[in-house]
Structure 1
């Protein structure tokens, strides 16, 4: 049996390590006791909707743990669950939950990117859903102060229009990290690694609200664990390669002008703008390239459909090739 979180062999739905991380060691089944959202039960689900993503079609619901069960809740939610989006406009829509789960696992297991605890679970009719544990809750149930970079940049629909989440560059996120994070250098490197990762897996929706700072007990602000990572290219193949521009003037480089997409030198230039030495940036890019086989193995062993496995692999191989060209 595969652990529903980390894919490793397990005697139970969740291995001991993932059970502790997700559920504090309590044995929770990976199958929920209720049906996936559909027309007859949608009013009940709508009470627990938190927000939308993937161009406004992916609904999120709030869950909390009650003894050994996960139940829908209107308050005191401890988990967010994302079922298969109710859309006919996206490709491979049934693979959306596993897409996000797989991408988060690749980020953490292969590239050592700190991520929110997550897993794949199933409704009682067998339909899959992505679940993640909220990281903004203290042990007493109160929330840590958390702000995403749209808030930090004061970008809203009223001030910047409907596309306000995309009205910035990743360099602007870096500038705010320098301003608000005491340990800025490692946080800037974490940002760089996450931006490169999103580019490699084809996440064209890594916008301002998908990066956040959180205030810990010490009062210091830090980058939150990564969240909302997925290969959106699987579902919207004609979208742009990246949600935000790397930095001002990045579309004017020789490589971009010749190819119409970012390459190795563009990311090295971006790293320098963040204050990361070229040698260090080169080393990080080479790590992503050298771990290609491990990434392919994770994709092949995932629960994606065979067609989505093939498409996901092609996206990653194409992006790694771009980053390999010197």
Structure 2
């Protein structure tokens, strides 16, 4: 039987996760954490209480910490585990997760000696080549890393000169993504969309392209910051599936996952700055439609769980998926009951306004602003990235799609 896992927020043990006789999840906060003056819940869905949470309550939060799809299968194969065994996978790779969460068995508790291993260019290139068979470096001694999502990625420490691997529980500062197989120029695509989002006013972390044997996408972790002592400090966060108690295998609205109405209600009910965060979430929705990001589901939005309370996290995983014929065309979350981009006309936005509780005139104003400014800003972004990293055909393809969608949107107002 798997031994219980100690659940940490940063360096504080906050609870225990274990399996009952039926191999169902149970989670319980420690008495010490409940008595602590400034204690915070692990999740909006797991508010502080002395009683243990059952499987239906606890599993969605913890399962959403794990990688998905082929990445998860490859990790399971590498470690000799069943890919359906959430608990065993958490035990194996849950040392450095999204937010401030770590899961550690008694025999793997922090030894107080976190460290980093510098990677030379050749070693980094070899590591990237190996990621397909060994995601998150699963099985390597001293490394226990986990990030949610279906894409191969690696938490690393980057000091502007070299990439380093976190060892012994050390915090990572960046996320490194290799090119996605069968998705041409994915690194350039995501870099372009993230830079464009920043230019248009969305709150996104800084990102860049590392040019090695392969182009690599490197993005700052928004859930990490440097404290007064100069050390990396973990900031707790959870994605919207975790906050709503939705398992990762139903993250898409078409599978019963969260809708945009539920996402806006979550922000409205939980954020310490609801007006600002609702406005930001609306910008994110409109941006995704106009740049062709059909994979904008509830695991791609998060809340920072700060000491002051929850607030919307910076946006991430922005990519133009619509230019790839083999990727799903339908949007992950519906606009006014419609997930086919070409069918999202003005009355769908009007229905969306009712669904999410926002006056349509505000949405109309935002649609007009974005559709008028995005084509020119996209051209400027392509110029900047071309000067910095070299031209890429994907920039033109994304610009063409943006122009088409913005032109269609502007017809609402003519």
Q: TM-score, normalised by structure 1?
A: 0.74
Q: Decide whether the 8 Å contact of 2:203 with 2:315 is kept in 1.
A: yes
Q: Decide whether the 8 Å contact of 1:84 with 1:128 is kept in 2.
A: yes
1:116 to 190, 201, 205: 205
Say if 2:160 is the partner of 1:71. no
Secondary structure of 2:234 counterpart: coil
Deviations 1:138-170 (CA, angstroms, capped at 9, x unpaired): 42544222111101121115xxxx343442211
Match of 1:203 in 2: 293
Deviation at 1:129, TM superposition (A): 0.8
Say if 2:316 is the partner of 1:227. yes
Match of 1:137 in 2: 224
Match of 1:294 in 2: 377
Residues of 2 paired with 1:134 and 1:202: CA distance?
24
Q: Decide whether the 8 Å contact of 2:204 with 2:314 is kept in 1.
A: yes
Residues of 2 paired with 1:106 and 1:225: CA distance?
14
Q: Which structure 2 residue ranges, 5 or more long, are not aligned? A: 1-119
Deviation at 1:309, TM superposition (A): 2.8
Match of 2:333 in 1: 244
Number of corresponding residues: 273
Q: Decide whether the 8 Å contact of 2:189 with 2:395 is kept in 1.
A: no
Secondary structure of 1:35 counterpart: helix
1:61 to 154, 167, 192: 154
Residues of 1 paired with 2:204 and 2:397: CA distance?
24
2:263 to 154, 173, 181: 173
Secondary structure of 2:331 counterpart: coil
**In angstroms, what is the RMSD of aligned CA positions?**
3.0
| CA gap 1:41/1:186 in 2 versus in 1, 3 angstroms | closer
Match of 1:84 in 2: 179
| CA gap 1:300/1:142 in 2 versus in 1, 3 angstroms | closer
2:303 to 213, 219, 242: 213
**Higher RCO structure (Cα 8 Å, ≥6 apart):** 1
| CA gap 1:64/1:317 in 2 versus in 1, 3 angstroms | same
Q: Decide whether the 8 Å contact of 2:135 with 2:152 is kept in 1.
A: no
Deviation at 1:246, TM superposition (A): 2.8
| CA gap 1:265/1:200 in 2 versus in 1, 3 angstroms | same
Match of 1:11 in 2: none
Match of 2:14 in 1: none
Secondary structure of 1:227 counterpart: coil
Match of 1:281 in 2: 363
Deviations 1:32-55 (CA, angstroms, capped at 9, x unpaired): 5631522599659624663464xx
Residues of 1 paired with 2:355 and 2:135: CA distance?
48
Q: Decide whether the 8 Å contact of 2:156 with 2:172 is kept in 1.
A: yes
1:149 to 240, 264, 279: 240
